[in-house]
Amino acid sequence: MRKEDTVKLISAEGFEFVIDKNAAMVSQTIRNMLTSPGSFAETQHGEVTFPEISTTILEKICQYFYWSLQFASGKETEFHIEPELTLELMMAANYLHT
């Protein structure tokens, strides 16, 4: 996987998730971040820090990205969400416009 095809997402606690750009761009917010014409810091370094998203949630989000790509390509499986994560996930989703 080439570096320019990936993006590093960093959680509030400093955990780093390196995932495909494709997957990350499931989030409209991240997509804007990476494609905006001006070169923002994120576009330059290929990493995004989310000081308001905890590691657990960010991990779940990354899982969701990949699941979503699969789902879109026709593989219809269920995405399991633990009930206690639901609310925070929803807020993150709103933030990320996913």
Stretch that binds other proteins, among 15-23, 60-68, 73-81, 85-93 (CB under 8 A): 85-93
Question: Per CB under 8 A, does 13 bind other proteins?
Answer: no
Q: What does the CA dihedral 90, 81, 15, 43 come to, rounded to 10 degrees? A: -50
3-state secondary structure of 70: helix
Nearer Cβ to other proteins, position 28 or 70?
28
Minimal distance, residue 18 CB to other proteins, in Å: 17
Nearer Cβ to other proteins, position 56 or 63?
56
